[in-house]
Amino acid sequence: MAKILYCKEIAETIKQEIKQNTEKLIAEKGIRPGLAILLVGNDPGSKAYVNSKERTCKELGFHSLIRREEENFSEEEVIKLVKTWNEDDSIHGILVQLPLPKHINERKVIETILPRKDVDGFHPENVGRLVIGLDSFVPCTPAGIIELIRREKIETKGKHVVVAGRSNIVGKPIANLLLQKKENANAIVTICHTAAKDLKQYTRQADILIAAMGAPELIDSDYLKDDVVIIDVGYNRVEDKKEAKGYRIAGDVHFEDAKAKAAAITPVPGGVGLMTIAMLMLNTLKAAAGEIQF
C-alpha cells in the first residue's frame, strides 16, 4: 500500500520560511516583495486560484496588486497594464492568469513581461535559460514537484521518469528539470502524450510517473508498474451529484485503484497544487531580492 505524500505540511513549512526571509528583506533592505496579478474573465477555476494567491500574499506580508477585469478587456489594455507594472518598482513579480480569453494573444502578453519579473517562468528567456541549465525563474508547479522530491528524499538519479503530458506549464519544464545533471534530478526522462497509440506501454515503464494531462482519473493500476512513485498534477472538476457543489476535484490518476500498486502517491486535492502557490511566493521573494542573475 502506497505512502500518501500529503503536501500541506511541506507547503506550510516553505511558507513559514518565506515569511521569515520576507521580514528579513524588509528589515535589512527596506524591500517588501510585491506581486501584481491580472485576471481577465469569469472562469471559476481561475478566480479561485487568484483568490488563493491574493490570500497567500497577505499571509506572508507581501504587497499585492490584483486587477480583475471583464471578459471584454482588450489585448491593448492588457499589454499597457503589464508595461505599467514593468516600470513599477514596488512590483517585483507579474502574473497574468491563464488561460486568457481567445481575443488576447497569450504569447504576446507573456513576452511583454520583463524576464526578471516573470515569476511564472513562462517568458522565452526564462524557458531557454532553464533548458540549458542557467539560473532562471522556474514555473511554479514543476518547481514544486522538485521541492517535494527533495524534501521527501525521493531518489531520481538514474531512475526512469515518465511524464504524461507536454504542456508548457508542466510537462515540458518538469521533463527538462529532471533531465539536468544535478541533485534531485539526473533521471532518464520519457515524455508521452495523447498521440501515443498505447499510453500504457510508456507509463508501465515508469519508476516515477508524473501525470499532467488534464484527463480525470485516466491512469489506473493497469497503467502502472509495481512500486512506482506517482506525482499527480491533475486538478479536474468532475460532476458529482452527491456533492453539495455538484462536482468534486479529481486528479489524472484513479487514486483508490493506483494506491494499492504504488510505493507512494500524491493525493488530489492536498497534493502538488499546494506546492505551486508556495513556489510562486518563493519566486516573487527571489525577484524582490534580485537573486536570479540575468
Q: Which residue, 99 or 183, is less far from ligand GUN as judged by CB?
A: 99
**What span, in angstroms and rounded, lies between the C-alpha atoms of 275 and 8?**
8
Residue from 22, 56, 64, 97 that binds ligand GUN (CB under 6 A)?
A: 97
Using an 8 Å Cβ cutoff, are 123 and 136 in contact?
A: no
Dist. CA 11–CA 278, nearest whole Å: 6
Shortest reach from residue 242's CB to ligand GUN, in Å? 27
Q: Cell digits for 48?
A: 479561485
Task: Select the residue whose beta carbon is closest to ligand GUN and give its number.
Answer: 98
- What would the grid cell of residue 71 be? 471578459
Q: Catalytic annotation on 120?
A: yes
| Least distance (Å) between residue 223 CB and ligand GUN | 24
Give the integer Cα–Cα distance in Å for 160 and 179: 10
Shortest distance, CB of residue 110 to ligand GUN, whole angstroms? 9
Which region, judged by CB under 6 A, interacts with ligand GUN, from 15-23, 91-99, 128-136, 267-275?
Answer: 91-99
Nine-digit cell string for 120: 511564472
Q: Could you tell me the smallest distance in angstroms from the CB atom of residue 290 to ligand GUN?
A: 22
Helices (H), 119-188: 124-131, 140-151, 171-179
Residue 56 sits in the site that holds ligand GUN (CB under 6 A): no
Q: Which residues contact 238 (CB under 8 A, 6 or more apart)?
A: 216, 217, 247, 248, 249, 250
Please tell me whether residue 66 binds ligand GUN under the rule CB under 6 A.
no
**With 0-12 CB in 10 A as exposed, 13-18 as middle and 19+ as buried, what is 242?**
exposed
Would you say 35 or 258 has its CB closer to ligand GUN? Answer: 35
Residues across the chain: 294
- Give the Cα separation of 36 and 38 in Å (integer): 7
Q: Residue 56 or 97: which CB sits closer to ligand GUN?
A: 97
- Kindly determine how many residues on this chain lie close enough to bind ligand GUN according to the rule CB under 6 A: 7
Interface residue with ligand GUN among 10, 95, 100, 189 (CB under 6 A) is 95
Q: Which CB sits closer to ligand GUN, 120 or 207?
A: 120
How far apart CA 173 and CA 184 sit, in angstroms, is: 15
120 binds ligand GUN per the rule CB under 6 A: yes
Which one among 130, 140, 228, 277 touches ligand GUN, defined by CB under 6 A?
A: 140
Q: Is 53 a catalytic residue?
A: yes
**Least Å distance between CB 220 and ligand GUN?**
25
Using CB under 6 A, which residues numbered 205 to 264 contact ligand GUN? none
Q: Name the DSSP letter for residue 2.
A: P
Kindly write out the interface string for residues 156-175 of this chain, putting x where it contacts ligand GUN by CB under 6 A and - elsewhere: -------------x------
Query: What's the CA gap between 77 and 146, in Å, rounded?
Result: 36
- Which among 185, 190, 96, 193 is positioned nearest to 146, based on CA atoms? 185
CB of 294 to ligand GUN, least distance (A): 20
Q: Which residues carry out catalysis?
A: 53, 97, 120
Which residues sit at the interface with ligand GUN, rule CB under 6 A?
95-98, 120, 140, 169
